[in-house]
Amino acid sequence: MTDQGKFARFLITLSAVIVAGCALTVTIKVMNTDTEALYPPRLLDQETVERQAAEVARGPKNVSRDGVECPAAMKAEEGNKFDCRVRVGYNDKTVTVEVVDDQGRLSMNAS
């Protein structure tokens, strides 16, 4: 009987160690999880940005998106900068866009 009792205590101890190891592994995996997958980045509305870039380059009377090229999937992160190309007549103008804050407010300058 004592050998069976020792064996049972050994199995209980071994099971506890295995469960603790599994719990530690899961905890480490969760802590290393990429939070960007849980909270995808906020993106700017491409159509709105292109209309605003057209207005800056061409003036308020011609805000058509025709001939405007801005990058896809522009992140609404403060300090993010990118260029849009706007066709004005037969020439292209570059509109530099900067995200002013995380609410998506923009600053635009044409060159």
35 token code pair: 């939070």
User: Which residues, including other chains, have CB under 8 Å from residue 77's CB and lie 6 or more apart?
Assistant: 41, 42, 99, 102
**Range 55-69 average pLDDT:** 90
CA distance 85 to 69: 5
Is pTM, for the whole model, over 0.85? no
pLDDT at 34: 64
**Range 85-109 average pLDDT:** 91
How far is C-alpha 9 from the geometric centre of its chain's CA atoms? 51
Angle at alpha carbon of residue 65, lines to 63 and 68, rounded to 5°: 110
If one counts every other C-beta atom within 10 angstroms of the C-beta of residue 56, the result is: 20
pLDDT tens digit sequence for 73-87 = 888 889 999 999 999
Asked whether residue 37 carries a pLDDT value surpassing 80, the answer given is no
Asked whether residue 1 carries a pLDDT value surpassing 80, the answer given is no
**Range 20-42 average pLDDT:** 77
